[in-house]
Amino acid sequence: MDREKPEAVACPLTVLSEDERLLQSTVRKFAREEIQPHVRAMDEAGAFRHDILRLLFAMGLMGIEIPEEYGGQGGTFFQAILAVEELSAVDPAAGVIADVQNTICANALLRWGDERQKALYLPRLATDTVASYALSESGAGSDAFALATRAEDQGDRFLLNGRKLWIANAAEAGLFLVFANANPAAGYKGITAFLVERGFAGFAVGKKEDKLGLRASSTCELLFDNCPVPRENVMGEVGRGYKIAMEALNEGRIAIGAQMTGLGRAALEHATAYAKERKQFGKAIGEFQGVQFELAKMATGIEAARLLVYNAARRREAGMPFVVEAAMAKYFAAELAERAASTAIEIYGGVGVTKDCPVEKLYRDAKIGRIYEGTSNMQLPTIGKKLLSQ
C-alpha cells in the first residue's frame, strides 16, 4: 500500500514574498552586471567608483526603508538585509556601504529623529547623500562607551572636540551620526547623538585607512576642533545617545551577518565552478570525495548562516526580541565566511593566493567580519548571559 506523501512544508524564514523575490533578483542582476566588472580595480585602487555609487542611489538601494514621502522606497528591514546579502555576494565592500546607509544611519534617523530632522535629511539620504556612523575611537572599541570626544553645551549649540577612528563610509559621506559625551561626570549617560554635516566648521575627515580587505569601502578618521553643532541637530534626547548607539548596532549586526553570508556564498560559487573545471589525475577535482566533502560543509554552513540571519531579521521586523538572535547570526556568519573563503583558496590550490583569483579578495574581506560592529568575543557573552538568565 502506497503511503500518502506529505505536503512539502516550506520554512517560513526562507519563504520570500513577491516583493522580496523581485528585489532579490533585481539586486543580484544589478550587482553582477554593474559592479562585478569593476570589483578588482576598485579593490586595488582602494576606492569605490562614484558612478556605481550614483547607480546605488538611482536603484533605490541607499534608501530602502525610507518612506516614499521622503523620496525613499518605502521598503522593509528584511528587504534591506536581502539587498546587503546580494551586493556582498559580488563585492562585500558594496554590501557594507549599503548596510551602514540603510540598517544603521537611515534606520536610526527614522526611529529617533524628530520631524524637522527627518524632513531635512531623509530625502538627501534617499537620493544623493551617503551617511556614516561615528562611534569608535582609539580608546573606545569593544568598550564602546569609553568615549573621549566631548560636546560642550553652549545653549543653542554644542561644541564638539575629539577624534573618531575607523569610521566606515567617511570619505563619501555628507552626513555623520556622531556620538560624543555631553556630561562626562555622568559616564555613559552623558553620551549624546549628533547629526553633523560634512560642511560644518571645525569638522574634517582625516586619514583614510589602507586596509587588508573591504578596500573599496572607505574607513577614515574624523576630527572635531570646536565644531559647532546646532542644538536642533541633537538626535533623540541629550544623554540618551548610548541607547541609540546600541540599538543601531544590534540591528546593524544582522546586516553584517547578511554581508558575511553573501561573501560565503560567493566563495562557494567560485570554488564549485573551479572544482568542475580543474583536472588532476585525468578527472575534475570535484569528482574526488575530499573536495566534495569540503564543498558540502561550506554549503551547509552558508545555509545555516542564512537561516540565522533571516530569523533575526524577521524577528526584528515583527517587533519581537532579537538581540540574542542578531548576536548569533553575526557570530556564526562571520566565522563561516572566513572558513569558507579559506577553504575556497585551498580548493583553488596555488592560484588561490594570487591577485588574479577572486577568492583571494574574499579571504581578505572576510577577516573584518569577526571584528567590526561587535567582535565575535563580544557576541558570545550576549548569547551566554541570555542562556544563564532563563
β-pairing, 173-181 vs 130-134, is: parallel
CA distance between the termini of the chain: 48
Q: By the 8 A CB rule, do 369 and 259 touch?
A: yes
Q: By the 8 A CB rule, do 55 and 34 touch?
A: yes
For 387, half-sphere exposure in the C-beta direction (CA atoms, 13 angstrom radius) is 9
Q: Under DSSP, is residue 288 helix (H, G, I), strand (E, B) or coil?
A: coil
Name the one residue in this structure whose C-alpha cell is 567560485. Answer: 270
Query: What is the C-alpha radius of gyration for the chain, rounded to an integer number of angstroms?
Result: 22
**What value, to the nearest 5°, has the Cα angle with vertex 325 and ends 80 and 216?**
45
Name the one residue in this structure whose C-alpha cell is 538585509. Answer: 81
In the DSSP assignment, the letter for residue 235 is E
Distance from C-alpha of 328 to C-alpha of 334, rounded to nearest angstrom: 10
For 256, half-sphere exposure in the C-beta direction (CA atoms, 13 angstrom radius) is 32
Grid cell of 228 as nine digits: 559647532
**Crossing angle for the helix pair 358-366 and 323-348, to the nearest 10 degrees:** 150
Phi, then psi, of 372 in degrees rounded to 5: -80, 160
Helical H segments across 278-322, by residue range? 289-317
Distance from C-alpha of 78 to C-alpha of 322, rounded to nearest angstrom: 13
Question: What is the set of active-site residues?
Answer: 373
Name the one residue in this structure whose C-alpha cell is 576630527. Answer: 223
Beta bridge partners of 6: none
Distance from C-alpha of 261 to C-alpha of 295, rounded to nearest angstrom: 15
